[in-house]
Amino acid sequence: MTEILPPLLPLLVGIPLLMGALGAALRRSKRARHIISLGTLTAMFVFSLLLVIATHDGTVLAHKVGFWDFTPQVAIPFVVDALNSLVLMIITILGITSVMFAMATHEARSRFYHPFVLILMAGVAGALMTGDIFNLFVFIEVMLLPSYGLLAMMGAKLGAHGARIYVSVNLLASTLLLFGVGLVYGTAGTVNLAELHGAGVDDPAVAVGGAVVLTAIGIKAAVVPVHGWLTRTYPMTSPAVTALFSGIHTKVSIYAIYRIYSVMFDGDERFLWIALVVTSLTMLIGVLGAIGEKTTRSILVFHMISQIGYILIGVGLFTGLGLTAGIFYLLHHMIVKASLFMSTGAIEETYGTGEINKLGGMLKREPLIAITFMIAALSLAGLPPFSGFVAKFSIIQATLEQSHYWVAAVAVIVSVFTLLSMLKIWVGVFMGKPPADLEENALAYQERMHGKRYLRVQAQAESPTLTIGPPTAAMSAVLSRQRAVRVPAKLIIPGAILAAITVFFGFGAELLMMLSETAAENLLNPEEYVEAVMNA
C-alpha cells in the first residue's frame, strides 16, 4: 500500500478543486451540489483514513508532484506522516458535519456555499501535505480566499466589519509570511522544508527568517499578543461558518508551527522559553476574555484562543510526552470546539439569539441539545470520562516532567476558569425559566428567516439582511403558530456526532494516544521525514 499511495496524494487537492468548480457550474440543482459536496468530503475522509492506517507505524509517505526527478529537490514535495494524516482525517470529519449543519440551516442552498467549502478543503489538504514553505503560503491563500467569501456572504446581516478585519489581518499575516519566505530563500537558498532541516540551528540568519515565518503563522493561529482579530470576526458570521472555521484555519496554522519548528529548527531548545511564555499568556488571557463575554459564541471564540495556548505547550516543551500530549490536545480540541459551536449554534439558529440574558430553560425544552452541550463542555474543561481529561492530564504531566511548574500551574488554574465560563453558558441558557418573550422572539426570527424564498443577501440595502429558504411543512406549522418553536433534529445531529466522538476518544483514548505518539516520534526525529522527501 505504501507504494500506491504517494502518487495519489495530489488527488486530495485536485479532486475537491475540480468538484468545487463543478458545483459552482451547476446553476440550478441544489441537490446535485449537496451530493457532490458530501460525496467529495466523504471520499477525502476515506482517503485520509487510509493514510492514517498507512502511516500509523511511523512510515513517511512522500511524493514529488510532477515526478520531477532531479537533484537537488526541484519539485514540490507532498509528504504525509502520522501527524498530518490525523489532522486531515479530523478536519474532513468536521467538514462533513458542518456541511450537514449548514444544510439544516439552509445556508448550503446558496449557490457558492458548497464550492467554497470544497475549495477550502483543497487548500487545507494542500497546506497540510506540502513540504515547501512557499507552497504552504499558496495553499494557505487557497484556504483563505473561499473563507473570505463564506464569512462575508453569511455574515452580511451583521455588517462589514467582521469581514474587513478578517481580510485585513489575514492579508497582513500572509504578506509577513511572504517576507519570511523571501528571507529564508535569500539566506538558505531553498524553501524546501526537508532541505532546510536544521538550518535554523546552524545559521542565525536563517533562524531570523524562520522566526518571521513562525510569527506570521502565529498571527494566523491567534496566539495572545495578536489574538484580537479572531474574537471580533468569528462571531460576526453564521454559526455554521464559525463551526467550520473553528477547526480549520487556526489548527492548520498550529500544525505548520509544529512542523516547521520540528524540521527547520530541529526542536532547538534555546528558543523554547519564548513559546512557553506566549502559550501561558494565551491560555490565561483567552479564558479571562471568555468570562467577560455575554453571547454564547463570543465566549466560545475566546475559549478557542485559550485552548490554542494549551495546544502550543506541546511545541514549547518539545519532549516525547509533550508533543504527544499537544497533538492529542489538538485533535481532541478540534472536535469538541466544533461540537460546542454546533450545539449553541442550533439554539441560535432556532431562537434567533445567542445572548445569554435572552435565553433560559433550554434543559427542559431541548434536552438533547443540553446533553450534547454538556458532554462537549465538560470535555473542554477536562473532566474524566471525556477526551479532554486525557488531553489535559498528559499536558500537565509533560510540563511537570520538564519542571515547568509555573506553566503547569497556569494550565490548572485556567481549567477552573474554563469550567466557570462553561457554567455561565449552562446556567444562562439551559437552567432557570425561559424568558417570557422567548417564543415570540423565536417566531419573529423564524418568520424573518423563512418567510422569503431562498437565500438572498441584500447587501446594498439600508440595513443589510439575509433571508433564507422556502418554509418546509414543519416550518409552516410553526409560522402559523400550530406548533411551538423547537430545534429540529437535523440541527442537533451534527453536534451530537462530534460529542459522541469525544466520548469515544475519552473511553478509548489509548487508540488516539498511540497515533499521537507516533506523530510525536516523527516530529522528534525529523530525519525520517527528510529522508523520505529526498528519496521520493
Partner 1 sequence: MSIAIAVGLLTAAAVYLFMQRGMVRIVLGFIMASHAANLLLFAAGNTAFRGVPYIGTSDYGDGGDPLPQAFVLTAIVIAFSITMFMITLAITTTHDDDTENDEESPAKVLGAADAD
Distances 166 to 65, 225, 234, 462 between C-alpha atoms, Å: 32, 16, 9, 23
- Residues 314 and 298: their CA atoms lie apart, in Å, by 26
Cell numbers for 264, please give them.
Answer: 527547520
Q: Taken in order 20, 218, 340, 295, is the CA torsion positive or negative? A: negative
Partnered with residue 78 across adjacent β-strands are 63, 130
- By CB under 8 A, tell whether 344 contacts partner 1: no
- Choose which of 134, 208, 361, 528 interacts with partner 1 (CB under 8 A): 134
Task: Determine, following the binding rule CB under 8 A, whether residue 167 of this chain makes contact with partner 1.
Answer: yes
Q: Which of these segments, 104-112, 228-236, 243-251, 426-434, binds partner 1 (CB under 8 A)?
A: 228-236
CA 318 to chain CA mean position, Å: 22
Q: Is 242 in the site for partner 1 (CB under 8 A)?
A: no
Q: Which stretch binds partner 1 (CB under 8 A): 229-237, 243-251, 306-314, 495-503?
A: 229-237
Report DSSP state, residue 311.
H
Which range binds partner 1 by CB under 8 A, 84-92, 166-174, 247-255, 428-436? Answer: 166-174
CB atoms within 10 A of CB 526: 23
Give a three-class secondary structure readout of 168-202. Answer: HHHHHHHHHHHHHHHHHHHHHCCCECCCCCCHHHH
Measured from the CB of residue 437, what is the shortest distance to partner 1 in angstroms? 11
Is 231 a binder of partner 1 (CB under 8 A)?
Answer: yes
Interaction between residue 291 and partner 1 (CB under 8 A): no
353-382: contacts with partner 1 (CB under 8 A): 353-355, 358
Measured from the CB atom, the residue of 218 and 352 that comes closer to partner 1 is 352
Which three cell numbers mark 531? 529522508
User: Which one among 29, 161, 477, 508 touches partner 1, defined by CB under 8 A?
Assistant: 161
The two beta strands, 77-80 and 61-64, are antiparallel
Q: Residue 373: which H helix or E strand, with range?
A: helix 367-381
According to the binding rule CB under 8 A, does residue 459 interact with partner 1?
yes
User: Per rule CB under 8 A, is residue 467 in the interface with partner 1?
Assistant: no
Contacts to partner 1 from residues 169-208, by CB under 8 A = 171-172, 174-175, 178-179, 181-183, 185-186
Say how far apart CA 282 and CA 315 lie, in whole Å. Answer: 14
Strands (E), 435-522: 456-458, 465-467
236 binds partner 1 (CB under 8 A): yes
Q: Among residues 20 and 267, whose Cβ is nearest to partner 1?
A: 20
Single-letter amino acid, residue 108 = A
Backbone angles phi, psi at 46, to 5 degrees: -60, -45
Give the nearer residue to partner 1 in terms of CB position, either 186 or 204.
186
Integer CA distances (angstroms), 359 to 243, 434, 446, in order: 20, 6, 16
Binding residue (CB under 8 A) for partner 1 from 37, 298, 324, 399: 298
Separation CA 44–CA 37 (nearest Å): 11
Which one of residues 22, 138, 281, 479 is an interface residue with partner 1 (CB under 8 A)? 138
| Among 38, 59, 141, 521, contact with partner 1 (rule: CB under 8 A) | 141
Q: By CB under 8 A, is residue 526 in contact with partner 1?
A: no
447 near partner 1, judged by CB under 8 A: no
First-residue to last-residue Cα distance in the chain: 15
Chosen residue from 21, 32, 53, 160 binding partner 1 by CB under 8 A: 160
We find the least distance from the C-beta atom of residue 359 to partner 1, in angstroms, to be 11
**Residue 210 or 326 having the CB closest to partner 1:** 210
- Check binding of 235 to partner 1 (CB under 8 A): yes
- # of chain residues touching partner 1 (CB under 8 A): 50
Q: 132 in helix, strand or coil?
A: strand
Asked whether the CA dihedral 59, 65, 66, 68 is positive or negative, the reply is negative
Q: Which stretch binds partner 1 (CB under 8 A): 123-131, 199-207, 459-467, 515-523?
A: 459-467
Binding-site member from 71, 403, 463, 482 for partner 1 (CB under 8 A): 463
Give how far the C-alpha of residue 363 lies from the chain's centroid of Cα atoms, to the nearest Å. Answer: 28
In angstroms, the CA 17 to CA 25 distance is 12
Identity of the residue, 410 or 438, whose beta carbon is nearer to partner 1 in the bound complex: 438
Shortest Å distance, C-beta 444 to partner 1: 9
Scan residues 482-521 and list those touching partner 1 (CB under 8 A).
none
213 touches partner 1 (CB under 8 A): no
Distance CA 133, CA 127 (A): 9
φ, ψ of residue 30 in degrees (nearest 5): -65, -45
| By the rule CB under 8 A, 156 interacts with partner 1 | yes
Place of cell 517576507: 179
Residue whose CB is less far from partner 1, 32 or 160: 160
State the Cα angle at 329 between 327 and 332, rounded to 5°.
110
175: Cβ contacts below 8 Å, ≥ 6 apart: none
DSSP 8-state secondary structure symbol assigned to residue 62:
E
Single out the segment in contact with partner 1 by CB under 8 A; choices: 40-48, 60-68, 132-140, 496-504. Answer: 132-140
Q: Least CB distance from residue 185 to partner 1, whole Å? A: 4
Q: From CA 467, how far away is CA 458, in angstroms rounded?
A: 8
Near partner 1 by CB under 8 A: residue from 59, 441, 467, 525: 441
* C-beta of 165 vs 281, nearer to partner 1: 165
Using CB under 8 A as the binding rule, whether residue 297 contacts partner 1 is answered as yes
Main-chain phi, psi angles of 130, to 5 degrees: -70, 145
Task: Verify binding: residue 115, partner 1, rule CB under 8 A.
Answer: no
Positions that interact with partner 1 (CB under 8 A):
134, 137-138, 141, 145, 148, 152, 156-165, 167-168, 171-172, 174-175, 178-179, 181-183, 185-186, 231-232, 235-236, 293-295, 297-298, 352-355, 358, 441, 445, 459-460, 463-464
